[in-house]
Chain A
């Protein structure tokens, strides 16, 4: 990284999408400034840097914004090539990784939210998605093989949702998806992951607070 590189992340402590970026930066050993935003009162900087979607995360690299978490992770991988490649070199394997990261994006977030708000049928479908991801992982230590890769970075922030999903869906992750739980613990042993994720109890408490407010609004 050049001496003059300025890296800022427009961030939200509880966002799994922001966590993806933090993990990628940590894997590459890139120092950055994190600026916590407030989605109920978006900062002028966020509105300036992401005028189209007005969402975090936004990576600002030497004044230029990059938006959308998986696009940011690919950008980080393409700019800082000195260590920890997140995508493989082979085009077919790269396509495979992009496919599964896209799958995580399409399925896990929306189904997770549906389980949180107790929507019918969501839990069954979510568990099926997790099992499919387990099949894809197989007996590799990581989706990326011997080291963290693109799919690991895309999925591991959702570990912060596991306790909430279990509570709201009334099931046990380790019973339904033991391989995935073991993979998540393996990822947490890596400093890049453990320092990029918030305290798991804190985020569980946060989800429960949100749920109480959501229920109160519904019943009002």
Chain B
């Protein structure tokens, strides 16, 4: 019998959602444990004492933390659809873009959505530069991974789904089809990809969640 798999996460978090996508791509059954980040459980603190953050994957009783680390663990542990390419050079390229999106783009986009006045102007300018870079990188491909979704597409989920919702919640038009046609096409391919479509959090609930906040939850990592 397969060892139980548990995932500590938050329903609205793109970070725990990345891990769910990867598990579903591999056909791995898991139990999702919803965390209240204003009142973190003893288990979360036990399994991620360093950062005390979600997501945390628990497999064979051992915790794995940090979403990008978890994605690679899932790819290495379970057979089936490959998340990362086989070729070392292609893997390095995928890791580069995933890191760029995770560390640079998401942070800039988050700041652009939630800051005000001068700070927002600067943040929007920076975010647009990063989006332009991604626009070029897509090169008209269906996904960052080529014909099928892969590591970079999973990591880019904030742009794929959350950004549109937050833009609507705060009344910002950053990612438009006029400025970023490749990215918009990618978003369309992304949200219509069967494994993604079947498992996205409900759009109206996410919209209500972000509209209810004058301030961002706690910043991009939550």
Contact = CB atoms under 8 A, between A and B. Distances in A.
Most buried by B among A52, A92, A95, A103: A95
A74 B70 CA distance: 16
Nearest to A97: B69
A99 B51 CA distance: 11
Given A66-B89, A75-B88, A91 B96 contact: no
Given A75-B89, A99-B66, A68 B96 contact: yes
A1 interface: no
Interface string B68-90: 11101100110000000000110
A102 B76 contact: no
Contacts of A98: 66, 69, 72
B64 A102 contact: no
Q: Among the interface residues A68, A74, A99, A132, which one has the most CB atoms of the partner chain B within 10 A?
A: A99
Decide if the interface of chain A is mainly helix, strand, loop or mixed: helix
B64 A95 contact: yes
B99 interface: yes
Given A64-B89, A66-B89, A75-B89, A95 B69 contact: yes
A74 B68 CA distance: 14
B62 interface: yes
A95 B95 contact: no
B73 A52 contact: no
B65 interface: yes
A151 interface: no
A17 to B, nearest CB: 13
B46 interface: no
Nearest to B77: A91
A132 B99 CA distance: 24
A90 B68 CA distance: 17
30 contacts: A52-B96, A52-B100, A53-B100, A61-B89, A66-B89, A66-B92, A66-B96, A67-B96, A68-B95, A68-B96, A71-B96, A71-B99, A74-B91, A74-B92, A75-B88, A75-B91, A75-B92, A91-B76, A92-B59, A92-B60, A92-B73, A94-B73, A95-B70, A95-B72, A98-B72, A99-B64, A99-B69, A102-B66, A102-B68, A102-B69
